[in-house]
Amino acid sequence: MSNTIETIKEQISNNAILLYMKGTPRMPQCGFSAQAVQALMSCGERFAFVNILENPDIRAELPKYANWPTFPQLWVKGELVGGCDIIVEMAQNGELQTLINEAAADSAES
């Protein structure tokens, strides 16, 4: 198994809330990443992120590992939640807030 996949697994397992995105939360480099960040930030919890533009290995390997072709990708408690459309839809119907609050509470306990 490649080191990149090991790195991805480590990032996912070490961060309760993790967003793989283009750019950073303060400087998103694509509209979809910007929407995902906005939805996540509205939940009011801290989250980790990986800028895939600075990590071409992860950008290449993660879609294969996740079986999800696009970015951003939101991972919560080791599970792929989805991309921009799913994140925004969940934010609109309140599901994202619940999921993020639970993940933050779980990670605070551990």
DSSP 70: S
State yes or no: 59 annotated in a binding site: yes
- Six token digits for residue 23: 């750019």
State yes or no: 71 annotated in a binding site: yes
- Six token digits for residue 101: 């609050």
Please answer whether residues 15 and 21 qualify as being in contact, where contact means their C-beta atoms are separated by less than 8 angstroms: no
State yes or no: 85 annotated in a binding site: yes
State yes or no: 22 annotated in a binding site: yes
**What are the C-alpha distances in Å from 69 to residues 26, 61, 65, 83, 85?**
24, 10, 10, 9, 13
Nearest to 18 by CA among 99, 92, 90: 99
- Six token digits for residue 91: 């934010």
State yes or no: 106 annotated in a binding site: no
Positions at the binding site: 22, 30, 59, 71, 84-85
List binding-site positions for glutathione.
22, 59, 71, 84-85
